[in-house]
């Protein structure tokens, strides 16, 4: 069942929003070792398994763009956040792998 509080955007669409006056905050839900290989500037690492423990400290009035390797863990995170009162969520389709292909080829792929 689709959740209307989650937008599914391509890396290029998210990159455009990051350049806007109201950029989303990027939450990277991958593991530390993945983040160490490649990550987006100004992203915040919150491994998926730790999300429930930090969610109460997140501002529910902010738009969050969720990122993982290919988009599956970030979708799980977005769905979990939507179920817990967050209403401004973006799942970055294709994850950091697609970001490397479409936006920043200097990012290492793994």
2 versus 99: the higher-pLDDT residue is 99
Could you confirm whether 100 is annotated as catalytic? no
pTM (2 decimals)? 0.94
Q: What is the mean pLDDT of residues 85-109?
A: 97
Q: Which of 68, 78, 89, 96 is catalytic?
A: 68
Task: Tell me phi and psi for residue 62, to 5 degrees.
Answer: -100, 150
Mean pLDDT of the chain: 96
- pLDDT tens, position by position, 48-80: 999 999 999 999 999 999 999 999 999 999 999
- pLDDT tens, position by position, 6-53: 999 999 999 999 999 999 999 999 999 999 999 999 999 999 999 999
Domains and CATH numbers, the chain: 6-102 (3.40.250.10)
Q: Grade residue 1 by pLDDT with cuts at 50, 70 and 90.
A: very low
């Amino acid at each position: 069942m689709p959740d209307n509080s989650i937008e599914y955007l391509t890396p290029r669409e998210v990159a455009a929003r990051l350049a806007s006056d109201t950029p989303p905050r990027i939450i990277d839900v991958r593991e530390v070792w993945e983040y160490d290989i490649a990550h987006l500037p100004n992203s915040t690492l919150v491994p998926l398994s730790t999300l429930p423990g930090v969610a109460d400290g997140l501002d529910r009035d902010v738009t969050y763009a969720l990122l993982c390797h290919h988009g599956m863990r970030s979708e799980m995170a977005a769905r979990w956040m939507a179920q817990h009162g967050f209403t401004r969520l973006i799942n970055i389709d294709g994850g950091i792998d697609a970001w490397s292909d479409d936006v920043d080829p200097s990012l290492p792929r793994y």
